[in-house]
Structure 1
Amino acid sequence: MNKIIAGNWKNNGNIEFIKNYFDFFLKNKNSNNQIILFPPDLYISQVHSYKVEKNFSVGGQRINSDGGSTHTSGTTSEMFLDNGCDYILIGHSEIRNLSDQYTYSAANDLYNSNGLQAIFCVGENEDSKKSGNTCDVLKKQLEDLCCKDNYPVISSKKAIIAYEPVWAIGTGNTPTIDNISHIHRFIKTYVSENHPFAKEKDIMVLYGGSVNSKNANDILSAPNVDGVLIGGASLDVKEFTTICNLKI
């Protein structure tokens, strides 16, 4: 079964890095998995220029929540589409954590993702995990995905959710495989029961948080796991290619 293998470069990369990356990647990739890279906005066009196969796509890391209104540093869905993007990350924990500085709305981001396939990120922090509130946190975050204003978004696209426990990102710690599978099942059930247009068979859940070539096969082989969203390991082209080439 083909999986989604997504790499979030965050604010990493430069022109030379991208050239060297694809020199290796295109020679060594041997996979039917759906591969998505999320480079910094300034390098989207360059990364897109290497799109030579249908199963390779490019995405944006963050969208302007204000839609078409004038906003310094804002990037709209139309801009991402013009530069070859098919996907957009919504609600990444690093963006959610900025809510101390201003009010962030994942619902608004999703509403303004016109034409892009959203990957909607959810996940609990360490305090919520320790207190046993993981499912309550996920329900609250998933309300933005299931709100009435966003019914049309899911009716026209698949529902793709990335479960990224905040305590696992960049720490080397991951939940057990059974725990990942259990949480993914919870997410699929909740969305299918609370969104009138989201059929469970069309809901995909990716896992993100300290994914690497040593644990990726076990994670991707687990029930209810439809792919992975990779951070640091996606910057190591040999590591990322190894994961992309896995056959599950």
Structure 2
Amino acid sequence: MLTAAERVVARLFIRPTSCKYFALQFTRSLSSCDKNKKHNKMSRQFCVGGNWKMNGDQKSIAELCKILSAGPLDPNTQVYVGVPAPYLIYVRSLLPETINVAAQNCYKVEKGAFTGEISPAIIKDTGAGWVILGHSERRQIFKESDELIAEKVEHALAAGLKVVACIGETLDEREANKTQEVVARQMCAIAQKVKDWTNVVVAYEPVWAIGTGKTATPEQAQEVHAYLRQWLTENISKEVAATLRIQYGGSVTGANAKDLAKKPDIDGFLVGGASLKPEFVQIVNARQ
């Protein structure tokens, strides 16, 4: 007899569309995955990122970098910070190499007449090695399409950056029971442009829980992460599904990080406001 969780997943499906990646039916029960889940979780390195967004000045950034450098940070957790573009070189000079530096955006070509944009080549020239793409604020405020984000991901990877690809649904979409449809559509666009997932981290960020103080419960977050893991199995490969890290983002704090980190398909966090505070150290250490 199916458990409640298995019944939920068994009902999920994606409406047919022209995208071949949407040909998804859940014909396998969760039980077939459970045997390897613990092993897979342990084989995926926990990864925590801080997205500073449009915040900070040289003084406050220096103070924050001093806190992060002192830590101590869990050596088994990979850490990166998403920095405003003008401060990329400055932050790279202040942090130890064990903490990675990421840009918060980039464009889809190497150079050219694109006023106000930065390229992966420029990011690498600053000493940073990561970039955050497709954040909900880029999608919602700046109206970036799934296709543009996918093209950015493709070029950033080709240029040698590690990419944090963000996906997530709005409150209206969640209340309309379209969470799975939305995240699958966003993943579909990215998947069409990615051949090698080695340097990709996916960040699931429910838009309704970003900067609102609302947080998906560990169970709600795990449900979507499990869905994404199964989507990867069905549409990419079992290997990618087992190894790709999926972060959770959405009002993560020192208080809720440990409970979220216990879930088998949550492989870390992309942290907003709390990454500007000393409690970011607690969040990095959530698995200890």
State the TM-score, normalized to the length of structure 1: 0.90
Q: What's 2:166 paired with? A: 121
Q: What's 1:17 paired with? A: 60
Aligned partners of 1:243 and 1:72: how far apart in 2? 36
Aligned partners of 1:103 and 1:202: how far apart in 2? 24
Cα deviation for residue 66 of structure 1 reads 4.1
Aligned partners of 2:128 and 2:225: how far apart in 1? 26
Q: Is the 8 A contact 2:230 2:241 kept in 1?
A: yes
Q: What's 1:132 paired with? A: 177
Cα deviation for residue 153 of structure 1 reads 4.6
C-alpha distance 173-82 of structure 1, shift in aligned 2 (>3 A): same
Q: Secondary structure of the residue that 1:58 maps to in structure 2?
A: strand
Aligned partners of 2:238 and 2:191: how far apart in 1? 9
Aligned partners of 2:208 and 2:249: how far apart in 1? 11
Q: What's 1:203 paired with? A: 244
Q: Secondary structure of the residue that 1:151 maps to in structure 2?
A: coil
Deviation readout 1:196-236 (Å, 9 max, x if unpaired): 69622221100000000100111111110100000000111
Q: Which runs of 5+ in 1 are unaligned?
A: none
C-alpha distance 91-197 of structure 1, shift in aligned 2 (>3 A): farther
1:190 matched to 2:231? The reply is yes
Q: What's 1:68 paired with? A: 111
Q: Is the 8 A contact 1:159 1:202 kept in 2?
A: no
Aligned partners of 2:140 and 2:73: how far apart in 1? 37
Deviation readout 1:82-129 (Å, 9 max, x if unpaired): 111221111111111145588971111112202111111000000111
Q: What's 1:228 paired with? A: 269
Task: Pick the aligned partner of 2:153 from 88, 97, 110.
Answer: 110
RMSD of aligned C-alpha atoms? 2.0
Q: Which runs of 5+ in 2 are unaligned?
A: 1-41
Q: What's 2:27 paired with? A: none
Aligned partners of 1:183 and 1:99: how far apart in 2? 25
Aligned partners of 2:145 and 2:268: how far apart in 1? 32
What amino acid sits opposite 1:239 in the alignment?
E
Q: What's 1:35 paired with? A: 79
Task: Pick the aligned partner of 1:48 from 92, 105, 124.
Answer: 92
Q: Is the 8 A contact 1:93 1:123 kept in 2?
A: yes
Q: Secondary structure of the residue that 1:199 maps to in structure 2?
A: helix
What amino acid sits opposite 1:18 in the alignment?
I
Cα deviation for residue 190 of structure 1 reads 1.3
C-alpha distance 198-115 of structure 1, shift in aligned 2 (>3 A): farther
Cα deviation for residue 245 of structure 1 reads 2.8
Bigger radius of gyration among the two: 2
Q: Secondary structure of the residue that 1:229 maps to in structure 2?
A: strand
1:240 matched to 2:286? The reply is no
Aligned residue pairs total 242
Q: What's 2:14 paired with? A: none
Q: Is the 8 A contact 1:180 1:207 kept in 2?
A: yes
Cα deviation for residue 69 of structure 1 reads 3.2
Q: Is the 8 A contact 2:147 2:189 kept in 1?
A: no
Q: Is the 8 A contact 2:65 2:95 kept in 1?
A: no
